[in-house]
Structure 1
């Protein structure tokens, strides 16, 4: 069951217009909500980010925050979703193809559920990654539909037989193709500041909150690829990946090629935030 244009309908009844600006311009925004035990995780933080992105791209949201949340909860209920994700997308609407904002188009909302199991194997054993220049635009903080550079980066990782790409701008590490990145150096947790060069990840926010509660020193500060390769630990954070250790980068082992103790500690505390 999908939510599309103000109604709940079967997937086969969803028909996207070829004149939708999301289709030919990527003119839209989205959010991916994690669902644990049938409930939206960190819902307020996701809605804050959705509203901020909409404001920055000058897209008028068709529903209030309360209405959006009610729609998503109803969607979870109708799909009997216990564990997975909910995808929410709003485009600027249907209009003839022209770059300026249309005067009469109405935003189009689409939402659906996915059953997504927790990534227990990668959390336990870690993943391998490679580094690559960050070729994306300069508003990576906005969660828009313009994801082709991310798609190319992810595919580049798979083509090289690893699971993720770590992006950098002239040697300064930013984030990954579909997740944020953190490292541990001499007991201190480092991650790129939440500015325009990275997505302000919700799991990233939770992990920083947990680290501070555990008195783990935290520094939101950019670091180099050299610092990355010399790190005591590295891990990614994301809605679907939770806290996943990175055990190899560019063929070089990190933390001896096994998940490090701080990543494990943070993951254990993270699980307590949704475990009943």
Structure 2
């Protein structure tokens, strides 16, 4: 099933016009929302970020957020999704091709679900990464469809047999190609501040709140490649990757080369939040 505007359709019934601005310009925004045991995780936070992204690029949502949440929940039920994700995309709509905004745009909303399992093996055993130049635009705080820079960096990682590319702008580590990045040094967590150079991740904010509740020192400040490689622990976070340790970067071992104690603690506390959602009755 596909959610198109505010109604559910079979996938074969859904057709998007070739002049949709999302297709021609990447003129749109999106969110990916995790579902555990048929229940969404962080829906309110995702919707808040969706509204912010829409405002930043002047896209009008086709209907209120409250109704959108209802329709997304309908979609989860209609597809009988237990563990997976919801993908939602909103574009500026269909209009003859021109660079400036249409006079009276009618935005296009599409959403669908996908089954995905939690990456338990990666979360326990870690992944390898490379570093690469951050070649993206200067409004990374907007979750837009313009992901070509991310795609090229992720491809570099794949060609190096790695799971992620950690991006560096100048000499500052910003984030991963599809994740946020934390380093841990002598018990303190560091992560790039939430400004226009990074996407303020939903899981990123969960980690920050967990760290504060557990009295773990955390600094939202920029760090460089030298600090990254010298870290005791490195983790990447996202809706789909959750909290995943990075044990090798550019063939350089991070810390002990295994998941570290603070990473384990953060994962344990995050998993408690996941279990709350899984066990909720709604």
TM-score category of the 2 structures, normalised to the smaller one: over 0.9
1:253-264 matches, within 5 Å, as 253-264=253-264
For 1:17 and 1:27, the matched residues in 2 are separated by 14
State the SS of the aligned residue for 1:273: helix
Question: 2:124: which partner in 1?
Answer: 124
Q: Does 1:226 align with 2:226?
A: yes
Aligned length: 276
Task: State the shift of 1:157 in Å.
Answer: 0.2
Q: Does structure 1 conserve the Cα–Cα contact (< 8 Å) formed by 2:6 and 2:68?
A: no
| RMSD of aligned residue pairs (Cα, Å) | 0.7
Q: Does 1:26 align with 2:43?
A: no
State the SS of the aligned residue for 2:144: coil
Q: Does structure 1 conserve the Cα–Cα contact (< 8 Å) formed by 2:6 and 2:71?
A: no
For 2:198 and 2:212, the matched residues in 1 are separated by 21
**Worse-superposed segment, 236-245 or 104-113:** 104-113
1:121-160 matches, within 5 Å, as 121-160=121-160
User: Which blocks of at least 5 consecutive residues in structure 2 are unaligned?
Assistant: none
For 1:235 and 1:243, the matched residues in 2 are separated by 6
Question: 1:39: which partner in 2?
Answer: 39
Question: 1:96: which partner in 2?
Answer: 96
Question: 2:4: which partner in 1?
Answer: 4
1:236-251 matches, within 5 Å, as 236-251=236-251
For 2:118 and 2:11, the matched residues in 1 are separated by 24
For 1:127 and 1:246, the matched residues in 2 are separated by 5
Question: 1:107: which partner in 2?
Answer: 107
Q: Does structure 1 conserve the Cα–Cα contact (< 8 Å) formed by 2:5 and 2:62?
A: no
**Residue deviations 1:217-267 (CA, integer Å, cap 9, x gap):** 000000000000000000000000000000001111012211111011100
Task: State the shift of 1:46 in Å.
Answer: 0.5
Task: State the shift of 1:93 in Å.
Answer: 0.4
For 1:3 and 1:208, the matched residues in 2 are separated by 33
User: Which blocks of at least 5 consecutive residues in structure 1 are unaligned?
Assistant: none
Task: State the shift of 1:37 in Å.
Answer: 1.5
Task: State the shift of 1:202 in Å.
Answer: 0.1
State the SS of the aligned residue for 1:255: coil
For 2:76 and 2:91, the matched residues in 1 are separated by 22
Task: State the shift of 1:12 in Å.
Answer: 1.4
Task: State the shift of 1:6 in Å.
Answer: 2.9
What TM-score does the superposition give when structure 1 sets the normalisation length? 0.99
State the SS of the aligned residue for 1:256: coil
**Residue deviations 1:41-91 (CA, integer Å, cap 9, x gap):** 111110110000100000011111101100100000000011100001110
For 1:199 and 1:116, the matched residues in 2 are separated by 22
Question: 1:198: which partner in 2?
Answer: 198
For 2:61 and 2:166, the matched residues in 1 are separated by 33
For 2:49 and 2:6, the matched residues in 1 are separated by 22
What TM-score does the superposition give when structure 2 sets the normalisation length? 0.97
State the SS of the aligned residue for 1:24: helix
Q: Does 1:73 align with 2:73?
A: yes
For 1:58 and 1:27, the matched residues in 2 are separated by 10
Question: 1:56: which partner in 2?
Answer: 56
Structure 1 runs (4+) greater than 2 angstroms displaced: none
